[in-house]
């Protein structure tokens, strides 16, 4: 199946988000507090909110780009640019990825009140 990015903006955005989610499987380590996807006609920007900027997190982000590009290759024509934007801090409104399509948000470990 080949997909032209220009067929439908919403269909392209949904496909890009789902492919990014698929590519991220096994690559969301303990330093990641959140991940969101921003899609334009020719670029997929992955916003990664980190608790700490570590070597392992950098390796996972590099692997994510590789995996996503492998999924897109030959399927999406033309191939979009894939960019990762890391941010160290809380996953609140200050995070540049806050207003985009979130595919992961870490639980902060705070009690929910349901514990006995």
d(CA 43, CA 40): 5
d(CA 67, CA 44): 13
pLDDT at site 111:
45
Structural domain contains residue 22: yes
Domain span holding position 87: 3-105
pLDDT at site 107:
82
Structural domain contains residue 24: yes
Distance of CA 63 to the CA centre of its chain: 12
CATH of the domain at 28: 3.30.300.20
Structural domain contains residue 65: yes
Mean pLDDT per 10-residue interval, the chain, length 116 residues? 63 94 95 96 96 96 97 90 97 95 83 45
Helix count and strand count (H, E) for the chain? 2, 6
Give me the helices (H) in the chain, please.
9-24, 55-72
| Environment class of 40 (CB within 10 Å of its CB; exposed 0-12, middle 13-18, buried 19+) | middle
Structural domain contains residue 10: yes
d(CA 15, CA 24): 14
pLDDT at site 49:
97
Structural domain contains residue 60: yes
Tally of domains in the chain: 1
């Amino acid at each position: 199946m080949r997909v032209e990015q220009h067929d439908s903006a919403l269909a392209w955005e949904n496909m890009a988000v789902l492919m990014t989610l698929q590519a991220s499987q096994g690559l969301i380590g303990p330093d990641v507090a959140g991940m969101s996807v921003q899609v334009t006609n020719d670029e997929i920007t992955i916003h990664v909110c980190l608790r700490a900027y570590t070597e392992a997190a950098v390796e996972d982000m590099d692997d994510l780009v590789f995996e996503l590009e492998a999924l897109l290759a030959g399927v999406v024509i033309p191939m979009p640019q894939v960019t990762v934007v890391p941010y160290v801090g809380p996953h609140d409104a200050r995070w540049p990825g806050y207003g985009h399509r979130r595919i992961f948000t870490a639980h902060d470990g705070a009690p929910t009140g349901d514990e006995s």
